[in-house]
């Protein structure tokens, strides 16, 4: 009667009951689950907008929605996905749940601030949601001026304020993680024994703390110009529209690394555990995270190549952009080297890791294409760029997020997901993703501009392929949603360490007790030392 025994043991889920015990919780694990529910909502909301976009693009005519509605659809897709799903996705859910456990802490350094940061995300989300329901916003998720300040008559301010508030959620989460990693590590957990997920989440936190305030300032300036008509960005009032782009991308380019660095951390964990080897070149991978965080702040001008930005600035930013490829490539090569002579198992999370490595490589290499000044002039604002960043954000971040969710699901819930269905959905997602976005590279190269819902008939075949792929992708995303919920009741009981992993989070029960560890762990080994778990095979 293992099941009965597990259900009776006290853990973080049954330590207290009732809505209040969740809404006022200070337990990082419960807050992680609150985040999980919130971002899942926004993921499916953003997905619904994407569905309407893809259905509209089935035909060259604009026969489903008007141009105005289409503008709102892609804007709200971007806002929901970037600010309310991708940025909080891995740090605020998996990071919140596992960062303290991985360093052997009982909670984050500031549990109340952690709860506050969730409320801020919800508040920001509700503000933006209100804007969407009241009539939407049509500026694109980038809010370029002077359109957003002087011309658009949609809900710019409500949406921007929602993002402003959610930004503080992001800052507080980053701050909390930084202090936690500095102050709360278990005895023996030195910096170079930290799991690489902690390193990459730490680097992400640094970006969140240094970058997000600039977004807040930018939104305030936008507010001042739109509401008080101060001339900051609008050239007719003596402002400079390119200044907005500088300020916006000073945050929003590093924000790409807020999205993808934690994903890389997840992949480091997965590649190691499913090939039963320490990550090749641990120090290089750890420092590559820090290098990406720093270099990410030096490249934003590559979003401005076709604006009135000076040609010299263009040269500087183009040159600096190439440097990001170095730490990124270090990671990809080191993951590949980790596989060498490893004892590889093709469990679902590993399938997602393989998907990430391939798709991130394509996304990263096409990033080098668009970082080249001359080529970028050809493909700016085309579907080539759309395909490029979806390979990073969907092919990279969401693949890693789902991989991490599968990997840690047994720890979070105490239950296994159904492996057969999970493998099937990983495959469906991979195929659907490529069918959706690969044709968009071709479309963009041929000249199909982004943000248009009417297009020349010769592009239709590629658009139909892309929409077909999106349907497959949607099915792939719904399947895990169903079986994860199913597994909560019917999944096989997982046991403490179903993967025989080395991390501290696997050395406590599943689901973990309210204070994570019955006894404070003492760390005596490097990360990923599989000699410590071999032979202790536990079957759930």
> How distant, in Å, are the alpha carbons of 292, 301, 510 from that of 514?
35, 46, 11
CB of residue 296 to another protein, shortest distance in Å:
11
Tell me which stretch binds another protein (CB under 8 A): 61-69, 74-82, 299-307, 321-329.
299-307
Give the DSSP letter of residue 145: T
CB of 184 to another protein, least distance (A): 14
Q: How far is the CB of 209 from another protein (least distance, A)?
A: 8
The answer to the question of residue 241 lying near another protein (CB under 8 A) is no
Which candidate, 271, 275, 282, 256, places its Cα nearest to that of 192? 282
Does residue 443 touch another protein according to CB under 8 A?
no
Q: Is 233 in the site for another protein (CB under 8 A)?
A: no
Interaction pattern, residues 159-188, with another protein; x per rule: CB under 8 A: -----------------------x------
Kindly tell me which residue out of 144, 282, 297, 528 binds another protein, with binding defined by CB under 8 A.
297
| Contacts by residues 285-288 (CB-CB < 8 Å, ≥ 24 positions apart) | 285/196, 285/199, 285/330, 285/331, 285/334, 286/192, 286/194, 286/196, 286/199, 287/327, 288/327, 288/328, 288/330, 288/331
Q: How far is the CB of 246 from another protein (least distance, A)?
A: 5
415 strand-pairing partners: 493
Which residue, 209 or 478, is less far from another protein as judged by CB?
Answer: 209
Using CB under 8 A as the criterion, what x/- string covers residues 386-415 for binding another protein? ------------------------------
Q: Which long-range contacts (CB under 8 A, 24 or more apart) does 119-122 make?
A: 120/165, 120/166, 120/168, 120/169, 120/172, 121/35, 121/38, 121/84, 121/88, 121/92, 121/166, 121/169, 122/38
When asked if residue 313 is in the footprint of another protein (CB under 8 A), the reply is yes
Task: Give phi and psi for 354, each to the nearest 5.
Answer: -60, -45
User: Which of 360, 355, 302 has the alpha carbon at shortest distance from 331?
Assistant: 360
Binding residue for another protein, selected from 133, 190, 312, 341, defined by CB under 8 A: 312
Confirm or reject binding of residue 66 to another protein (CB under 8 A). Answer: no
298 binds another protein per the rule CB under 8 A: yes
- For residue 15, give both structure tokens: 């330590």
Query: Quick one: how far is CA 107 from the chain centroid?
Result: 23
By beta-carbon proximity to another protein, the closer residue of 58 and 175 is 175
Count of residues that interact with another protein, criterion CB under 8 A: 21
| CA 298 from centre of chain | 21
Q: Which is nearer to another protein, 257 or 354 (CB)?
A: 257
Which segment (66-74, 292-300, 454-462, 521-529) binds another protein by CB under 8 A?
292-300
End-to-end distance of the chain based on CA atoms, in angstroms? 12
Q: How far apart are CA 140 and CA 54, in angstroms?
A: 17
Neighbouring residues of 102: CB distance < 8 A, sequence distance ≥ 6: 194, 195, 197, 198, 503, 504, 505
- Between 70 and 300, CB nearer to another protein: 300
Considering the complex, state which of residue 4 and residue 311 has its C-beta at the smaller distance from another protein: 311
Alpha helices per DSSP H over 274-324: 282-295, 311-323
The two tokens of residue 220 are: 């305030």
Cis before 145 (ω within 30): no
Rounded Cα–Cα distance for residues 171 and 167 (Å) = 6
If binding is defined by CB under 8 A, does position 155 make contact with another protein? Answer: no
Q: Which stretch binds another protein (CB under 8 A): 51-59, 159-167, 281-289, 294-302?
A: 294-302
Q: Does residue 310 bind another protein (CB under 8 A)? A: yes
The piece of 21-29, 112-120, 311-319, 481-489 that touches another protein (CB under 8 A) is 311-319
Q: Which of 47, 301, 327, 444 is close enough to bind another protein by CB under 8 A? A: 301
Smallest distance from another protein to CB 354, Å = 36
Q: Which residues pair with 382 in a beta bridge?
A: 449
* Contact window for another protein (CB under 8 A) among 60-68, 148-156, 245-253, 258-266: 245-253
Measured CA to CA, the distance from residue 85 to residue 89 in angstroms comes to 5
Pick one of 184, 210, 230, 479: the residue that binds another protein (CB under 8 A).
Answer: 210
Q: How far apart are CA 482 and CA 440, in angstroms?
A: 29
* Residue 214 C-beta: closest distance to another protein, Å: 7
Distances (CA, A) of 322 to 74, 289, 297: 29, 16, 13
Considering beta carbons, is residue 163 or 247 the nearer one to another protein?
247
| Segment interacting with another protein (CB under 8 A) among 81-89, 240-248, 370-378, 513-521 | 240-248
Among 300, 430, 455, 484, binds another protein (CB under 8 A): 300
Query: Residues in the site for another protein, rule: CB under 8 A?
Result: 182, 210, 214, 242-243, 246-247, 250, 297-298, 300-301, 304, 308-313, 316-317
């Amino acid at each position: 009667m293992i099941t009965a025994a597990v259900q009776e043991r006290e853990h973080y889920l049954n330590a207290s009951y009732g809505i209040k015990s969740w809404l006022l919780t200070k337990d990082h694990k419960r807050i992680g689950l609150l985040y999980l529910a919130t971002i899942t909502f926004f993921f499916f909301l953003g997905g619904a907008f994407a569905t309407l976009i893809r259905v509209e693009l089935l035909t060259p005519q604009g026969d489903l929605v008007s141009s105005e509605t289409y503008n709102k659809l892609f804007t709200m897709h971007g806002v929901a996905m970037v600010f309310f799903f991708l940025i909080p996705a891995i740090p605020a859910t998996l990071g919140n749940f596992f960062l303290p456990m991985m360093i052997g802490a009982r909670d984050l350094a500031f549990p109340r601030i952690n709860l506050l940061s969730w409320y801020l995300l919800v508040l920001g989300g509700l503000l933006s949601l209100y804007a969407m329901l009241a009539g939407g916003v049509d500026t694109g998720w980038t809010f370029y001026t002077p359109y957003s300040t002087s011309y658009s008559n949609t809900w710019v301010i409500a949406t921007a304020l929602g993002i402003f508030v959610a930004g503080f959620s992001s800052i507080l989460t980053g701050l909390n993680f930084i202090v936690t990693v500095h102050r709360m590590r278990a005895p023996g957990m030195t910096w170079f024994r930290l799991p690489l997920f902690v390193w990459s989440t730490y680097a992400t936190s640094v970006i969140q703390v240094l970058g997000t305030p600039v977004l807040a300032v930018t939104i305030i300036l936008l507010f001042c110009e739109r509401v008080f008509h101060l001339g900051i960005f609008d050239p007719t009032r003596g402002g400079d529209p390119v200044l907005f782009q500088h300020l916006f991308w000073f945050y929003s380019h590093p924000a790409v690394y807020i999205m993808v660095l934690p994903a890389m951390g997840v992949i480091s964990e997965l590649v190691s555990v499913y090939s039963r080897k320490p990550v090749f070149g641990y120090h290089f991978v750890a420092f590559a995270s820090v290098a990406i965080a720093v270099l990410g702040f030096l490249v934003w001008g590559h979003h401005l190549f076709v604006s009135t930005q000076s040609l010299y600035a263009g040269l500087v930013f183009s040159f600096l952009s190439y440097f990001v490829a170095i730490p990124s490539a270090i990671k990809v090569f080191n993951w590949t080297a980790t596989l060498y002579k490893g004892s590889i198992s093709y469990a679902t999370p590993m399938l997602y890791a393989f998907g990430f490595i391939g798709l991130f490589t394509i996304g990263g290499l096409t990033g080098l294409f668009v970082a080249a000044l001359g080529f970028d002039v050809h493909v700016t604002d085309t579907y080539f760029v759309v395909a490029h960043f979806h390979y990073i954000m969907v092919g990279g971040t969401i693949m890693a997020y789902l991989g991490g969710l599968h990997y840690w699901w047994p720890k979070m819930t105490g239950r296994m997901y159904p492996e057969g269905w999970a493998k099937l959905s990983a495959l469906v997602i991979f195929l659907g993703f490529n069918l959706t976005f690969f044709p968009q590279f071709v479309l963009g190269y041929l000249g199909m501009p982004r943000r248009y819902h009417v297009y020349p008939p010769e592009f239709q075949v590629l658009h139909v392929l892309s929409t077909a792929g999106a349907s497959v992708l949607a099915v792939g995303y719904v399947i895990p949603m169903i079986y994860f919920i199913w597994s909560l009741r019917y999944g096989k009981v997982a046991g403490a360490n179903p993967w025989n992993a080395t991390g501290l989070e696997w050395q406590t029960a599943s689901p973990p007790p309210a204070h994570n560890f019955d006894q404070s762990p003492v760390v005596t080994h490097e990360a990923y030392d599989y000699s410590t778990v071999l032979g202790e095979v536990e079957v759930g």
